Amino acid sequence: MIRVIGGGVMGLAVAAELSGRGRAVTVIDRERQAGPHHCSWWAGGMLAPDCEGETAEEPVVRLGRAAADWWAGQGARVIRRGTLVLALDRDRAELARFARRVPGAPLEAEGIAALEPDLAGQARRGLHVAGEAHLDPRATLAGLRARLAAQGVVFETGEARPGPGDIDCRGLAARDALPDLRGVRGEMVVLRLRDLDITRPVRLLHPRHPLYIVPRGQGLYMLGATQIESEGRGPATARAVLELLSAAYALHPAFGAAEVLEIGADARPAFADNLPRIRRRGGVIHVNGLFRHGFLLAPAMARMVADRLCDGITPEVCDEDHG
Ligand SMILES: Cc1cc2nc3c(=O)[nH]c(=O)nc-3n(C[C@H](O)[C@H](O)[C@H](O)COP(=O)(O)OP(=O)(O)OC[C@H]3O[C@@H](n4cnc5c(N)ncnc54)[C@H](O)[C@@H]3O)c2cc1C
């Protein structure tokens, strides 16, 4: 029986890969189900490897390309409508810079209106990055957990200390074993706005306050996310909320009438280069550092963990091995 400590997106993905290869798995988490206690709860659910390539390194783009299919294979509702990248007129230099780094189809006003009729007239230039996808992280976590339980994965609730043979997926709580892990705070808002129908994630470029909006269906939109070098998991600040809401309002004034349903914050677990790692130390396999790419990279990381345990293949993101 392999013990996976931590039932966030990383732990569940590892459990899915190992269980799928016939291994007996127990997942231990402090809490009984997905919820605000873990970072995975606050994610936007964008599976956008190309757009992330604007700032992320090559492995994120390459490994992230497998995510949409993997999640669909696990029964998640993956929506494949690409990403719409927009800039207001005053920020058009941002769009030109983005388009130099990210492959996409340039759009004029008519093209934007054809993709998202409710955004007609709100921006004159954009980019459509096809092949990207999104999902609802909360429904996905709950669905995967139920699926794994039905497959025979055992779920236990409690505090655990990883020991030899265990897989440590404790997110930021693993700093006791991974001292170079840091937190990068992210704040988000959930709105309800029934009068506006946006069907795919929209990124609004801005030199200081870039915004993304992820539709969750039935008039719900997740706005995200700040990125601050801080481990603080406390409530979102007024400034962060103001920035997110102002950007949404600049994208479409209809957001001014939205109901604010939720304001949240958490700290993303990240290493110095913002790339994830599989690290073996004292017989424990630590899988961590997903940064802003939890749903994007957990599938590839989980596959590498399973390849190592089942077939002895050294993972490409294994930076250390002390037995
Ligand atoms: C605002 C925001 C937006 C984001 N948007 C996206 C996005 O659009 N796309 C994307 O791919 N990623 C996104 N992310 C990043 C993503 O959420 C994280 O990378 C991911 O959640 C990290 O997952 P994890 O499983 O490593 O950690 P966590 O989700 O924190 O899970 C760790 C688990 O370990 C458990 N645990 C800890 N210690 C113990 C212990 N001793 N015993 C038992 N259990 C323990 C905890 O209870 C927790 O459930 C976003 C993050 C934020 C904050």
- List the domain boundaries for the chain: 2-75+134-179+272-322, 83-130+183-270
Testing ligand 1's pocket by substitution, the residue of 202, 230, 295 carrying the most ligand atoms inside 8 A of its CB is: 295
| Residue minimizing CA distance to atom 26 of ligand 1 | 171
* Pairing state between β 284-288 and 25-29: unpaired
Give 182-200 pLDDT, tens digit per residue. 999 999 999 999 999 999 9
Residue 316 pLDDT class (50, 70, 90 cuts): confident
From CA 300, how far away is CA 16, in angstroms rounded? 12
Please give the distance, rounded to the nearest whole angstrom, from the Cα atom of residue 107 to the centre of ligand 1.
35
pLDDT of 74 above 80: yes
**Three-class SS state of 12:** helix
Q: Rg of the Cα trace of the chain?
A: 20
pLDDT of 64 above 50: yes
Please give the distance, rounded to the nearest whole angstrom, from the Cα atom of residue 288 to the centre of ligand 1.
9
Question: H-helix or E-strand containing 9?
Answer: helix 9-20
pLDDT given at position 320: 60
Buried-state track 173-205, b at ≥16 Cβ within 10 A, e below 16: bbbebbeebbbbbbbbbbbebeebebebbbbbb
Please give the distance, rounded to the nearest whole angstrom, from the Cα atom of residue 108 to the centre of ligand 1.
37
Average pLDDT of the residues of the chain: 95
Strand partners, 210: none
Closest alpha carbon to 43 in 16, 18, 67, 62: 67
Testing ligand 1's pocket by substitution, the residue of 136, 228, 292, 305 carrying the most ligand atoms inside 8 A of its CB is: 292
Cβ atoms of residues 219 and 303 within 8 Å = no
Q: Which residues line ligand 1 (CB under 6 A)?
A: 5-11, 28-31, 37-40, 42-46, 159-160, 169-171, 173, 186, 188, 224-225, 266, 268-269, 288, 290-296
From CA 279, how far away is CA 317, in angstroms rounded? 8
Closest alpha carbon to 318 in 71, 59, 22: 59
Q: What share of the chain in percent tops pLDDT 90?
A: 90
Highest CATH level, class, for 2-75+134-179+272-322: alpha beta
User: What does the pLDDT average to over 48-64?
Assistant: 97
From CA 128, how far away is CA 252, in angstroms rounded? 18
Give 284-296 pLDDT, tens digit per residue. 999 999 999 999 9
Cβ atoms of residues 273 and 290 within 8 Å = no
Question: H-helix or E-strand containing 73?
Answer: helix 67-73
User: What does the pLDDT average to over 233-243?
Assistant: 90
From CA 291, how far away is CA 268, in angstroms rounded? 5
Third-level CATH fold of 83-130+183-270: D-Amino Acid Oxidase; Chain A, domain 2 (3.30.9)
Question: H-helix or E-strand containing 309?
Answer: helix 294-311
Give 100-114 pLDDT, tens digit per residue. 999 999 999 999 999
Cβ atoms of residues 310 and 23 within 8 Å = yes
* Rounded (5°) CA angle 317-309-322: 60
pLDDT given at position 234: 81
Residue 321 pLDDT class (50, 70, 90 cuts): low
Domains 2-75+134-179+272-322 and 83-130+183-270 share a fold: no
User: What does the pLDDT average to over 302-319?
Assistant: 90
Q: Which atom of ligand 1 is nearest to the CA of 287?
A: 26
Testing ligand 1's pocket by substitution, the residue of 9, 155, 263, 305 carrying the most ligand atoms inside 8 A of its CB is: 9
pLDDT of 266 above 90: yes
User: What does the pLDDT average to over 231-238?
Assistant: 85
pLDDT given at position 323: 47
Q: What does each C-alpha distance from 323 to 23, 58, 165, 266, 285 come to in angstroms?
A: 22, 28, 11, 33, 10
Please give the distance, rounded to the nearest whole angstrom, from the Cα atom of residue 1 to the centre of ligand 1.
24
From CA 229, how far away is CA 262, in angstroms rounded? 23
Q: What does each C-alpha distance from 85 to 38, 106, 304 come to in angstroms?
A: 29, 9, 32
Q: Which atom of ligand 1 is nearest to the CA of 288?
A: 26
From CA 159, how far away is CA 161, in angstroms rounded? 7
From CA 85, how far away is CA 200, in angstroms rounded? 10
| Residue minimizing CA distance to atom 15 of ligand 1 | 292
- Phi and psi torsions of 57, nearest 5°: -80, 165
Give 132-190 pLDDT, tens digit per residue. 999 999 999 999 999 999 999 999 999 999 999 999 999 999 999 999 999 999 999 99
